[in-house]
Structure 1
Amino acid sequence: MKIGDYNELTVARESSIGVFLCDEDGLEVLLPKRYVDEKIKLGGWLKAFVYKDSEDRVIATTEEPLATVNRFALLKVKEVTPIGVFLDWGLPKDLLIPKKEITSPPDEGDEVLIYVYLDRLTQRLAASMRLERYVSDRPENLNFGDEVEIIVWKRHDLGYQAIVDEEYLGMIYDNQRFQSIKKGDRMKAYVNQVRTDGRIDLLLQAPGYKAVDDHESLVLDALIEAGGFLPYHDKSDPEQIQKAFGMSKKVFKKVLGSLYKRGKVKLETGGIRLKQGGRRPKR
């Protein structure tokens, strides 16, 4: 049975305090009465989250926490105490960041990016702000242009640091970023390079002509919504293009070139016009 994670369990027996669920190894865990409804039947299967409650019992719940063990999450500070910081993670028992796991003391109401771990001694779930401990500096099978999932971590002199695929540390450089981002944002990104120190340089837009494919539909949709004409062209201000489409001027020019060659748009002095037949087919 996995503490701090979801388990597929069998409804084994009923009790005055709830029902007992059983895993494939025969280990039982209580699902308290407040979580039992008419859909739960003896012999049936149930997906439940398992953790230690405020009475220090290992229990199951059908409630869904905002984070699970061995994962990163952005959570709100509920209370600051002498023993640590308590976080709201969607369950009755708040998640504790022990004092030793705090890097910079947050205030009540702040949002902090943390890693959820299982204390081996107490078997309780806890959180840490020391994220470097939980990332590897040996990325495997990552190459230029590969798509990855990232969580934006914190501001850096050169840009933003991010957690890559819940395993590695990456960097988004300001001079290669053409959209607003903030701590805790989850999004897809692309590998620009894997450095010798194991850190990953990231791009928020697909490199080269992969970016053109990704953004053509965005420009076509914007043209359709605007009635077939947009006042943007290859001489437009880069900041205006970024604000309108969330892409760099370099990518925008490639998109226009591709749409023009495919006969989707006309390039006019004051902007771009959707050609008849240039609309994307409805799905």
Structure 2
Amino acid sequence: MDLKVGDKVDLIVGRNSAIGFTVLVNEEFEGMLYKNELYQKIAEGEKLVGFIKKIREDGKLDISLQALGFKHTIVKNEIAILNALRKNNGALALHDKSDPNDIKHQLGMSKKAFKSAIGGLFRQKLIVISEEGIKFVEHIE
């Protein structure tokens, strides 16, 4: 196996099980996408791009749909939030106390990822955070 943790791989989604979806990795290896790490809907037979999260002792692979690495993920999530703000007239009714399912449904990320990303955007002075949600700085009234 010429794969290592962090490698970008091609996936074909297999069976749905209690813990997640089995996936065929690079048309050769068996892997698992865990349900608690999925922030988008996927279907059996779907082709996706993923990343090797862990190579287990039994040779099976734990797979993530998000690139590994803190900086890459934060930037990707910040961009997703900025794009969502642009599509919603500069405001989103989400903040650090929002329900995790609302965040997952609207932005396709975990609450922890959301909080990290809005913290970064706030420190860059791109957004403001209030009880109503987040807004672009220039949309303050």
Confirm or deny a common fold (TM above 0.5). yes
**Alpha carbons of structure 1 residues 274 and 242: separation in structure 2 relative to 1, 3 Å:** same
Among residues 248, 251, 261, which one is paired with 2:123 in the alignment?
Answer: 261
Matched, 1:161 2:18: no
CA distance in 2, matches of 1:140, 1:226: 44
Judge conservation of contact 1:189–1:206 (CA < 8 Å) in 2: yes
Unaligned runs of 5+ in 2: none
Once residues 253 and 190 of structure 1 are traced to their aligned partners in structure 2, the CA distance between those partners, rounded to angstroms, is 23
Find 2:96's aligned residue among 234, 258, 262: 234
What is the distance in 1 between the residues matched to 2:18 and 2:131? 40
Bigger relative contact order, structure 1 or 2, given CA contacts below 8 A and separation 6+? 2
How much has 1:161 moved relative to structure 2?
0.2
Opposite residue 58 of structure 2, the aligned amino acid is D
Partners of 2:116 and 2:69 in 1: how far apart? 9
**1:193 partnered with 2:54:** yes
Structure 2: how far apart are the matches of 1:165 and 1:224? 36
Aligned pairs, number: 138
Pairwise CA distance, 1:186: 1.2
TM-fit CA distance, 1:230: 0.6
8 Å contact kept, 1:266–1:272: yes
Give me the whole-angstrom Cα distance separating, in 2, the residues matched to 1:148 and 1:234.
33
**Contact 1:206–1:214, Cα closer than 8 Å, also in 2:** no
TM-score (norm 1): 0.46
Query: In the aligned structure 2, how far is the partner of 1:259 from the partner of 1:164?
Result: 35
Find the aligned partners of 1:208 and 1:168 in 2 and give their Cα distance.
Answer: 23
Q: Which piece of structure 1 moves more, 177-186 or 239-248?
A: 177-186
Structure 1 residue 141: deviation in Å?
A: 3.2
Q: How far did residue 208 of structure 1 move?
A: 4.4
Give the AA of the match of 2:61: I
Contact 1:216 1:259 in 2 (8 A): yes
Residue type of the alignment partner of 1:197: D
- 2:7 counterpart of 1:146: yes
Q: Report the TM-score when normalising by structure 2.
A: 0.89
Contact 1:260 1:267 in 2 (8 A): yes
Report the structure, 1 or 2, having the larger strand content: 1
| Structure 1: 5+ residue stretches without partners | 1-138, 277-283
Residue 31 of structure 2 aligns to which amino acid in structure 1? G
CA distance in 2, matches of 1:211, 1:239: 19
Where 1:221 maps in the other structure, the secondary structure is: helix
SS of alignment partner, residue 227 of structure 1? coil
Identify the residue that residue 78 of structure 2 maps to in structure 1. Answer: 216
> What displacement does 1:167 show?
2.0
Q: Which amino acid aligns with 1:179?
A: Q
Q: Verify: 1:225 aligned to 2:87, yes or no.
A: yes
SS of aligned partner of 2:27: coil
